[in-house]
Amino acid sequence: MENTRKISLTLNFPLTFISLALYTLICTQKQRRTYAHTKPQAKWRIYISSKMKKYKGQLALLTAAIIWGSAFIFQKMGMNHIGPFTFGALRFTLGSLALLPVIWIMKKLNDRKPAEMQKSITPWSDKTLLIGGLFCGIASFVAGSLQQIGIVYTTAGKAGFITSMDIVIVPIFMLLLKQKIAKATWLGIAIAPVGLWLLSITDSFTIAKGDAFVMGCAVAYSFQILLIDHYSERVDVLKLSFIQFFLSGIFSILPAILTEVIDLESIIDCAVPILYVAFFEVSVAFTLQVVGQKYTSAASATIIMSLESVFAALCGTLFLGENMTGREIAGCIIMFAAFIITQLPEMDLKLPHRKREYSNN
């Protein structure tokens, strides 16, 4: 009875934030296009609308981080029943299939709009969509597999910390791509690992077998973040998510057959962890990542998504009865401080000069 209560609480925890995110997404869907001769009042509304898009993206990424943090519990449970590649094949395949009804519904809603308000929908045969889905699928398969293997050999705390090292890796890759990084973002990047270390690492930091796997996962996730940042501006994000995770599931099948014993009874025993990570972590959270990154810079998105380790610790406290030490609480505070600092370049506090706009007309 106690385990059932804990599972129920863990499932309800992200549902609240998902509902909030979906409500915000719906409320901000009706956006007007900017025309060359727009009246000052309309320009003001467009300005507010652009800000709402940014906040919508940040809320989507924050919700994804909450789901990923709570998913560590189920990933750990899953390894008591089946192998990491079998787990990955099921989670990615089921998660991708859960997106098909969403894609169909969104298309129907778009078709009902007047012709001038309809969004351009990327066809399934689009070359950019297929290439982007393939690259993102490879990165997702590598990252998810390495993380799942690493969790077998290391603690959840270390796995959370090392996975979140992508907040350091992404800006380095961005520099290699000759993209500029704001000073405040660098400050947040410098502070965030300190908070993560205080939160997740309780013993001396060593690169053991499991840690090395999860470090490889962080590198792969860094590539995935940059790939999504690139392709989400060019193709339909839901179709990109479907192709990405369907291919990740297909890629997981062969190593599962070659290296693991696939037993139906064990899969049934692992049904709850599989369904949770498939429908929440994969289908919902990663789709929120794709949508959120469309309105958020890659460097800022990494910081927000790194909060999954903070929520993993909170879930442990709320649902598993784990008590947080003063050191761990300090880590949470530092992480949230890093999140705020890295958002400073994104916050344009100057409002449009309405007097000047009136004088130009």
The whole-number pLDDT of residue 354 equals 35
Spatial distance between the Cα atoms of 339 and 306, rounded to a whole number of angstroms: 9
User: Would you say residue 358 lies in a domain?
Assistant: no
User: Would you say residue 85 lies in a domain?
Assistant: yes
User: What is the span of the domain harbouring residue 216?
Assistant: 61-106+123-344
User: Would you say residue 356 lies in a domain?
Assistant: no
User: Would you say residue 214 lies in a domain?
Assistant: yes
Spatial distance between the Cα atoms of 219 and 134, rounded to a whole number of angstroms: 18
Name the more confident of 274 and 353: 274
- C-alpha distances out from residue 207 to 210, 216, 286, 291, Å: 8, 12, 28, 34
The whole-number pLDDT of residue 327 equals 80
The whole-number pLDDT of residue 353 equals 37
Dihedral of alpha carbons 69, 70, 74, 76, sign: positive
User: Would you say residue 27 lies in a domain?
Assistant: no
User: Would you say residue 23 lies in a domain?
Assistant: no
The whole-number pLDDT of residue 145 equals 94
Rg for the chain, CA atoms, rounded: 21
When divided into structural domains, the chain yields a total of 1
The pLDDT tens digits for 285-339 are: 877 877 787 787 766 776 787 788 778 777 777 776 767 678 877 887 887 787 6
User: Would you say residue 150 lies in a domain?
Assistant: yes
The whole-number pLDDT of residue 337 equals 81
User: Would you say residue 8 lies in a domain?
Assistant: no
Q: Please check the confidence at residue 341 and state whether its pLDDT lies above 90.
A: no
Q: Please check the confidence at residue 161 and state whether its pLDDT lies above 50.
A: yes
The pLDDT tens digits for 38-68 are: 455 555 555 555 666 667 888 888 898 889 8
Write down the residue that tokens 């106690």 correspond to.
2
